[in-house]
A and B are shown apart, each in its own frame.
Chain A
Amino acid sequence: MVMVLSGLGGSGLEYRRPVTIEEAVAALRARRHTVLAGGTDLFPARVGRPCDDALLDISGLTALRGIAETNQGWRFGALATWRDVWTADLPPLFNGLRAAAREVGGMQIQNRGTIGGNLCNASPAADGVPNWLALDATVELVSSTGSRRLPVAEFVLGNRRTARREDELLIAVHVPRPAHPARGTFRKLGARRYLVISIVMVAAVAEFAADGTIASARIAVGAASEVARRLPSLETRLIGQCPDPSVVREEDLAPLAPIDDVRATAAYRRDAALTLIRRAIADLA
C-alpha cells in the first residue's frame, strides 16, 4: 500500500546524495557543503534549530564502506561504522580500536556513527583519534583535483579543526602492517557506565620481538589536550623491555595540556592519565 502524506512544510535545504566519489567531490568543488555521514555529531549540534547548511549526504558512496586487508595493511572505509569495527575479523593489533568501538555511545550510535565522521568532527574527546595515533594510521583525502594521504597526527589539528580542505572528502583510514606481532589496548574513563564521553582515555599498541620484549610502542592519550597526543619519551623507554607499568613517569605526560571542564579538573586528568597508561601497559603484557 502506498500512503501519500504531506509534510508540515519543514525546513528543506539543499540536500544531495551522490552515489559516486566523482559526483561528491564535484559537488564539494562547486559550493560549500556540510558533509553528512552517520549524522551522530551533526544533528546533535543542531538541536532546536533548522539545519541551515547545504548537506552532502555521503552515505550512498559504497566505495567508502567496509574494512579490508590490503597488501600494506588494512583499509577502513570512512563510512565504516563503530559496529562494523567491533564485528570485523581483525588481529590483536586492533584490540584497542575494537574496545573503543564498543564504548562509543550506545548501540544506536555504534550502528550509525562512522570512523570518518569521528575524525572529521575532531572532538578532543573523540575515542577514535588516540587509537588511530597508536595504530600509526594515515587518512586518505580526495578532491576533484586529486588525492593525498596524511598521518592522523597531521590531520587532526585542534578542537574541531582538521587539515581537510572544504573541497575534500575523507575516504579512508589506512593502518600499516606492523613489522612484528602486535597487540593493542584501550582504556576509557567516564563517570557512568554507558553513553559516556571520555574524561580521559589511553590507546596503546606494542609490537613484540621474538623474545617477548617490546620492539616498538605507540601510546596516545585523548581528552587531555586539544588533540590526542602520543608520548614519545615513554614509547622510547619501553623498547627492549617487557611491558612494565612501573616505567611510566610523570614527565612522560609533557605533551599533554589538560583543562578544567564539566567532566573533571585538569589535575585529575593528569593523575588519571598516569593510572590509565599504567593499566594499558599492563594490558599489553
Chain B
Amino acid sequence: MRSPALPHRFVVNGRDIEAIAPPSMRLSDVLRDVLGLKGTKVGCDAGDCGACTVLVDGAQVCACLVPVGQVVGRSVETVEGLAREGRLHALQSAFLRHGAAQCGICTPGMLMAAADLLRRVPSPSEAEVLDALGGVLCRCTGYRKIVDAVLEAAHGGAESVAPSKGAVGTRLVRVDGVAKVTGTDRFGADAIPERGWLALRAVRSPYPHARFRFGDLDAFRRRQPGLVAILTAADVPGANRFGIYPTGKDQPVFAEGQVRMLGEAVCALVGDAETVAAIRDEDVPITWEPLPPISFDDALAGSAPDLHPHAPGNVLCRGRVACGDAATALASAPHRATIAIETSFVEHAYIEPEAGYAERIGDGIKIVACTQTPYMDRDEIALILGIPPERVRIVPTAVGGGFGGKLDLSLQPMIAIAAWRTGQPVRCVYTRPESIRTTTKRHPARIVAEAGCDEEGHLLAFRCHGDFNTGAYASWGPTVASRVPVHAMGPYRVPNVCVTTAAIHTTDTPAGAFRGFGVPQAAIAHEALMDALADRLGMDRLEFRLRNALRHADTTATGQVLDHSVGLVACLEALRPRWQALRAEAEAHNRSAHGPFRRGVGIACMWYGIGNTALSNPSEMTLGLKADGTITLYSGAVDIGQGSNTVMVQIAAEAFGVAPETIRLVVGDTARTRDAGKTSASRQTFVSGNAARLAGIDLRRQLLSLVNAGTDARIIPVPGGLEIRDGDRTMRPDLSRFAADANGDVLVGFGRFDPPTTALDADGRGVPYATYAFGAQIALVEVDLDLGTTRVLRMVAAHDVGRAINPTLVEGQIHGGIAQGIGLALMEEYIPGRNDNLHDYLIPTIGDVPPIEVLLIEDAEPLGPFGAKGVGEPALIATAPAIFGAIEHATGVRVTRIPATPDRLRAAILAAR
C-alpha cells in the first residue's frame, strides 16, 4: 500500500524548507533529489561509509539512515551551509591547504563530522578527532592530512588560502579544490540530464555459472505501466562485446544464454525510477539452469570445462621474462630461500559507486559518467552501438576514486544502448552491492618464488611462477601477466632470472586493474625472500637490500640499461637512521614486554615501470590562447583524485612561463580535448605531463615569435591580453588579427609524448618502460600474540619520484597508497557473493592509518617533465611487504596467506609454537 508524498517542514542550513516527499524517503535522497543539494554524497545507503554525514540538530548522522519524516521541525546542516557569504569555513580552507580532499567524494561527510566535533570540543586532541571522524571512510587520502587539517582548523592558523609562488615544485592548492570542499564538484550521480530521463537497472545473475532462458518479457513489460523497455543482448545495435584489448573483447553487455559470474547482467529494465527500483530480479521471467562454478583450484587443476573457446585450459595468457640460467645458478647458490604466498581478491572500494547518464543527440550519443579513460570508453561504445567513434562524446564527471576500477566499462554500454533505443536520456546509479559484485578486483595470486645469493649477500638468481585468478573475463588480465614478470625479482641486480605467469579464468568476478597491476602481490614474495636471505646470512635486512639495489647503469632482467633516475640507493640511505632507531626501540620494547604485545619493524623496496608495458601509450595536449589573453589547457587526462588537473596546470604554466593561476582548464570531454590516454599505470604525470609541457613550449614559441622576442622573454598577463618583456623592451602582440577556432582560441600550442619503449621478445627481453619509480618503506607494528591482531604504529616512506611537481599531492598519493597497502596486508578480502558491502568488506578507517613520514627523493628523470616520474601505484607496493617483515620481526611468523586477518595470524603463531 502506497501513501502519497507529504509535505515536511524543517530547516536546512538556516532556511525554512517545505519538502514534499514520502515520509520514509531517506533524508539523503530528499536533500539531493528534492532540494537539489547535491553536496551530500551517497556511497552505500547503509551507514557504512559516512559520505552522507549531515548534522541534525547539531549532531552528525548518516542522512541515508534518516527518514525525512523524522526531521520535521528540526534543523539540518549540510556542506552547502558551511561557507558563509562567500568565505570558506576554517575547516574548508584547512582541508584545501593540507590537500585533505583528493577525489573529494568523502569530503562533505568529513567536513560535517569535523564541524560537529569543533562545536562540541573547540580544541580537540588527535584522539578526539579520530573518534569524531571514525564513521567516515576515505579511500584516497590515508586520513592523515584530514586529521592535520581538522587540528589546524581548531587550533588556529586557518586563514585564507595563500596564493602560491611559481609553478613546478610548489605546493599549489589543487585547482579543483574549492569545488571539492564546498560540495559543488559534480560526480557521476550528481550529473542529471536536463531533459526528463528514464532510469535503468540491470537484472543480474544470482548464480556464478548458469544457462538461462527468458520467458515472455514483452508480456511482463506490458504488465508494468512504468516500464518503457527491457533490453537484452538482442537490443545491442553493434557488437555485444567489450574488453580492454582489441583481441580480448570477451565480455558481453548482456549475457547471451550463459552467465559466467555472479551478478552478470542479463537484461536491463528501463523506465521511471520508482518502477525500475520496485521490480525484483526474481519477478522477471527468467529460467535458470545452474552449472557448477569453476574455482581457482578447479581451473588450475585443469579439471574444469573451458569458460571461453579462445582460452583452452582456462588459461587466458602467459607471461615470461628470463635471463641467464636461473635453475643452474640456484642449484649452486650457497644460500637459498623459497616462499609460497596466496593473496585474495581486493575491492577498489572507491566511495563513489559508478553513475552517469547517456543522451542520444541526433545520430550521436553523449555519455556523462565517471570514468578513468574517456577515449577508450568512446571507442568501445562506438563498437557496441555500431557507429563511428566521432559520433560518441564522453564527458567525464568528477571521479570519486578509481584506483583502476573505473578503467573498464561498467554501466556506460547499458545506458548508451537504452538512450539509443528509447531516444530519451537514461540514467543509472549503481548500488554499493552492485558495484562491488560486478566490477573488477585485484587479482588473487598464488606465487611460488625462490632466490639465491652468495656468501657476501650478492643475489645470484631468482625464479618465480605466479598464477593469477583473472575471473570470468579478460579485462586487464594480460597486463598483469606481462607486467609482473618484469618486476617480480624486485628492484635488484640479479644476473639469472626466470619468471613466468599465467592469468587463469574462473567463474569469479573479473580481476582487472588495481593500483599496481599484480606488482604489489609479487612484491610480497620477493621481499619475503630478501628478508629470508639476509637473516640466513646474519646480515641487516636494509644493508642486504642496499647491497643488491639497482643503481645507475645497471641492467635489468629484460636487458634494459638504466641510464638515469635510479634513486633506490638514496631511498635506502635516507631510511637507514629511522630503520636502525626503530629496530632498536622495538627490540628494547620486546625485551621488557610481559604481556602479549610484541613490536616489529619491517622494510621493503619496490620499483615500478611508468606507463604501459612495451606498448605505445601516447598523450596529446593543447594549450590555447584567446585574443583577450585567456590561456586554456585542454587536458584529456582525467583526474581521479590524484591531482593530475593541478599537475598539468603547473607543468603547462611552467613551460609557457606564467603563474598557474592564470591557466584555465578543460578536462576530459572528448569533444574538446585530445586523447591523453588512460589514468592508470602511474603515467599521467610522466606521459601527459610531458605533453602539457610540450604544448606550453609550443605556444610560448609561437607567441614570442610574433614579436620576435628572445627565448627567455617574460610573458605577463595584463587586463585584456598579454605583455611580453624582453630585456628592456615591452611588447603587446595583437592577437585580434588571428581567426579564432571553435574553442575561441587564436593560438594553440600542441604537445605529444609517447614514452620510448620496445616490444619484448619471447624471453621478455627489451625496453618495457621508459623509466621506473623506486621506493622503500618501513613499517613499525605491534602484534597482540594472543589475539593475532596487528596495529601499524608508524610508517616511513622514501620514494624516488624524479621531481615532485607538487609535494603536497605526492605526499597525498603516498599516504593513500600506504592506507590501501595496510588494507591489503591486514583486512581486505573480497569473497564473491559474501561481502559485497562496506560493512563486511573492511577497508582501513581513520584509526587504522598511523602517522606517516614521507622522504622525497628527487633523482631527476631526463625524459620526464621537469624531471618527474610517477607515484600513484608505487606508493602502495612496498607497504604490505614491509608490514609482513615487521610481523615476522615481532612474532617470528612469516605471513603467507594474505590478508593477515587476526584468525590467520593467530593460527600461524600457534602453529609456530
Residue positions of A touching B, CB distance < 8 A: 1-15, 17, 36, 38-40, 43-44, 47-52, 54-55, 57, 59, 83, 102, 105-109, 111-112, 189, 191-197, 199, 262-265, 267-268, 271-272, 275-276
B61 and A112: CB pair below 8 A? yes
* Complex interface bits, B98-125 against A, C-beta within 8 A gives 1, otherwise 0: 0000000000000001001000000000
* Complex interface bits, B242-286 against A, C-beta within 8 A gives 1, otherwise 0: 000000000000000000000000000000111001101000000
A14 and B1: CB pair below 8 A? yes
Number of interface residues of B (CB under 8 A): 87
A262 and B24: CB pair below 8 A? no
B901 and A39: CB pair below 8 A? no
Q: Is B33 an interface residue (CB 8 A)?
A: yes
Nearest chain B CB to A84 CB, angstrom units: 11
B902 and A195: CB pair below 8 A? no
Number of A-B residue pairs, CB cutoff 8 Å, is 233
Cβ contacts under 8 Å, B834 to chain A: 262
- A142→B26 CA distance, assembly (Å): 29
Closest 7 CB pairs of A and B: A106-B135, A12-B22, A193-B847, A194-B134, A268-B903, A7-B21, A48-B431
Q: A15-B3, A112-B65 are in contact. Are A106 and B902 (CB under 8 A)?
A: no
A275 and B786: CB pair below 8 A? yes
Nearest chain A CB to B112 CB, angstrom units: 9
* Complex interface bits, B431-469 against A, C-beta within 8 A gives 1, otherwise 0: 111100000000000000000000000000000000000
Cβ contacts under 8 Å, A9 to chain B: 5, 272-274
A15 and B69: CB pair below 8 A? yes
Listed residue (A3, A83, A265) with the most chain B CB atoms within 10 angstroms of its CB: A3
A189 and B789: CB pair below 8 A? yes
Cβ contacts under 8 Å, B6 to chain A: 12
Cβ contacts under 8 Å, B903 to chain A: 199, 264-265, 267-268
Pick from A12, A38, A57, A102: contact of B5, CB below 8 A.
Answer: A12
- A36→B66 CA distance, assembly (Å): 10
Nearest chain B CB to A4 CB, angstrom units: 5
B132 and A107: CB pair below 8 A? yes
Pick from B9, B44, B47, B433: contact of A105, CB below 8 A.
Answer: B47
A193 and B848: CB pair below 8 A? yes
Listed residue (B134, B272, B847) with the most chain A CB atoms within 10 angstroms of its CB: B134
Stretch at the interface among B152-160, B716-724, B836-844: B836-844
Cβ contacts under 8 Å, B433 to chain A: 47-48
Q: A7-B25, A50-B277 are in contact. Are A189 and B847 (CB under 8 A)?
A: no
Q: Is B827 an interface residue (CB 8 A)?
A: yes
Q: Is B788 an interface residue (CB 8 A)?
A: yes
Cβ contacts under 8 Å, B434 to chain A: 48
- A90→B475 CA distance, assembly (Å): 57
Cβ contacts under 8 Å, A13 to chain B: 1-3, 22, 24
B17 and A3: CB pair below 8 A? yes
Nearest chain A CB to B116 CB, angstrom units: 7
Q: Is B563 an interface residue (CB 8 A)?
A: no
30 example contacts (A-B, Cβ-Cβ < 8 A) are as follows A3-B17, A3-B19, A7-B33, A8-B33, A12-B3, A12-B4, A12-B22, A13-B3, A13-B24, A15-B23, A17-B69, A43-B65, A44-B46, A47-B45, A47-B431, A59-B70, A106-B50, A107-B131, A108-B61, A108-B135, A109-B47, A109-B135, A191-B826, A192-B842, A194-B135, A194-B848, A195-B137, A263-B840, A268-B902, A268-B903
A8 and B132: CB pair below 8 A? no
A5 and B34: CB pair below 8 A? yes
Listed residue (A43, A55, A199) with the most chain B CB atoms within 10 angstroms of its CB: A43
Nearest chain B CB to A109 CB, angstrom units: 6
Q: A40-B47, A194-B135 are in contact. Are A15 and B17 (CB under 8 A)?
A: no
B847 and A194: CB pair below 8 A? yes
Cβ contacts under 8 Å, A40 to chain B: 47, 62, 65
Q: Is B53 an interface residue (CB 8 A)?
A: yes
Q: Is B165 an interface residue (CB 8 A)?
A: no
Known: A44-B839, A55-B67, A59-B70. 4 other contacts (CB 8 A): A47-B431, A107-B132, A263-B840, A268-B903
- A262→B830 CA distance, assembly (Å): 9
Nearest chain B CB to A81 CB, angstrom units: 9
* Complex interface bits, B771-792 against A, C-beta within 8 A gives 1, otherwise 0: 0000000000000001111000
B902 and A272: CB pair below 8 A? yes
Cβ contacts under 8 Å, B16 to chain A: 1-3
- A171→B421 CA distance, assembly (Å): 55
- A47→B137 CA distance, assembly (Å): 18
A192 and B847: CB pair below 8 A? yes
Q: A15-B23, A40-B47 are in contact. Are A106 and B33 (CB under 8 A)?
A: no
B846 and A194: CB pair below 8 A? yes
Cβ contacts under 8 Å, B566 to chain A: none
Cβ contacts under 8 Å, A111 to chain B: 59-61
By beta carbon, the residue of chain B nearest A15 is B23
Nearest chain B CB to A207 CB, angstrom units: 27
- A111→B62 CA distance, assembly (Å): 9
Q: A47-B45, A193-B848 are in contact. Are A6 and B789 (CB under 8 A)?
A: no
- A1→B11 CA distance, assembly (Å): 10
Cβ contacts under 8 Å, A3 to chain B: 15-19, 35
B25 and A10: CB pair below 8 A? yes
By beta carbon, the residue of chain B nearest A195 is B845
Q: A12-B23, A54-B1 are in contact. Are A43 and B845 (CB under 8 A)?
A: no
Q: Is B831 an interface residue (CB 8 A)?
A: yes
Q: Is B30 an interface residue (CB 8 A)?
A: yes
Nearest chain B CB to A263 CB, angstrom units: 7
Cβ contacts under 8 Å, B23 to chain A: 12, 15, 17, 55, 57
Q: Is B48 an interface residue (CB 8 A)?
A: yes
Cβ contacts under 8 Å, B840 to chain A: 197, 262-263
Pick from A4, A48, A55: contact of B24, CB below 8 A.
Answer: A55
- A265→B834 CA distance, assembly (Å): 15
Q: A49-B280, A59-B70, A105-B135 are in contact. Are A11 and B34 (CB under 8 A)?
A: no
Q: Is B678 an interface residue (CB 8 A)?
A: no
Q: A192-B847, A194-B134 are in contact. Are A268 and B907 (CB under 8 A)?
A: yes
B67 and A262: CB pair below 8 A? no
A191 and B844: CB pair below 8 A? no
B67 and A36: CB pair below 8 A? yes
Q: A49-B280, A275-B786 are in contact. Are A10 and B842 (CB under 8 A)?
A: no
- A50→B19 CA distance, assembly (Å): 19
Listed residue (A44, A57, A83) with the most chain B CB atoms within 10 angstroms of its CB: A44
B902 and A194: CB pair below 8 A? no
Q: Is B20 an interface residue (CB 8 A)?
A: yes
Cβ contacts under 8 Å, B62 to chain A: 40, 108-109, 112
Q: A39-B66, A109-B62, A195-B845 are in contact. Are A264 and B901 (CB under 8 A)?
A: yes
Q: Is B136 an interface residue (CB 8 A)?
A: yes
- A109→B839 CA distance, assembly (Å): 13
A14 and B3: CB pair below 8 A? yes
Cβ contacts under 8 Å, B61 to chain A: 108, 111-112
A50 and B278: CB pair below 8 A? yes
Pick from B47, B827, B837, B839: contact of A43, CB below 8 A.
Answer: B47
Cβ contacts under 8 Å, B534 to chain A: none
A107 and B113: CB pair below 8 A? yes
By beta carbon, the residue of chain B nearest A52 is B278
Cβ contacts under 8 Å, B907 to chain A: 265, 267-268
By beta carbon, the residue of chain B nearest A6 is B20
* Complex interface bits, B199-236 against A, C-beta within 8 A gives 1, otherwise 0: 00000000000000000000000000000000000000
Q: Is B906 an interface residue (CB 8 A)?
A: yes
Q: Is B616 an interface residue (CB 8 A)?
A: no
Cβ contacts under 8 Å, A265 to chain B: 903, 907
Cβ contacts under 8 Å, A108 to chain B: 47, 50, 53, 60-62, 65, 113, 135
- A112→B52 CA distance, assembly (Å): 14
Pick from A17, A36, A50, A267: contact of B274, CB below 8 A.
Answer: A50
Cβ contacts under 8 Å, B274 to chain A: 8-11, 50
Q: Is B835 an interface residue (CB 8 A)?
A: yes
By beta carbon, the residue of chain B nearest A191 is B827
* CB within 8 Å of A: which B261-314 residues: 272-274, 277-278, 280
